[in-house]
């Protein structure tokens, strides 16, 4: 389930980036009024503003919801561990480790 939501989250993020890059800036309306090429786009000079802004809002909501769900899954599955917490005694070695001796090197 986590993988599916993560995959949907990444797809929404990519779509959101593309939609934001497709939208016109504030100064594009002035250029369209004087006959620049912006008025000959697929949606027209102002036709895409409503569609793109509503789609962006829906994708942003989906991104927010998937972010919250992923954060919930991440916090529910992991145990909080402190880095300053001492290691329990049963995990510590009981004595010195058996280290094999290294062969003597000639010439030293």
**Residue 50, H or E segment:** helix 47-77
**Residues present in the chain in total:** 108
* Mean per-residue pLDDT of the chain: 75
pLDDT score, position 84: 75
pLDDT score, position 5: 94
CA separation for the pair 103, 100 (Å, rounded): 9
pLDDT score, position 14: 97
Average pLDDT on 82-106 reads 63
CA separation for the pair 52, 26 (Å, rounded): 14
Residue 45 CB contacts under 8 Å (≥ 6 apart), including other chains: 29, 32, 33, 38, 39
For 25, 55, 58, 68, 81, the CA distances from 18, given in Å and listed in that order, are 14, 11, 14, 22, 39
Residue reference for tokens 């998937």: 66
Lowest-pLDDT range of 17-21, 31-35, 48-52? 31-35
């Amino acid at each position: 389930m986590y993988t599916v939501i993560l995959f949907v989250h990444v797809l929404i993020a990519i779509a959101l980036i593309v939609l934001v890059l497709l939208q016109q800036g504030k100064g594009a309306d002035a250029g369209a009024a004087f006959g620049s090429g912006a008025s000959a786009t697929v949606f027209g000079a102002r036709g895409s503003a409503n569609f793109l802004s509503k789609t962006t809002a829906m994708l942003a909501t989906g991104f927010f919801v998937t972010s919250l769900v992923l954060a919930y899954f991440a916090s529910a599955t992991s145990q909080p561990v402190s880095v300053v917490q001492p290691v329990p005694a049963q995990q510590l070695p009981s004595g010195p480790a058996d280290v094999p001796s290294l062969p003597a090197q000639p010439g030293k």
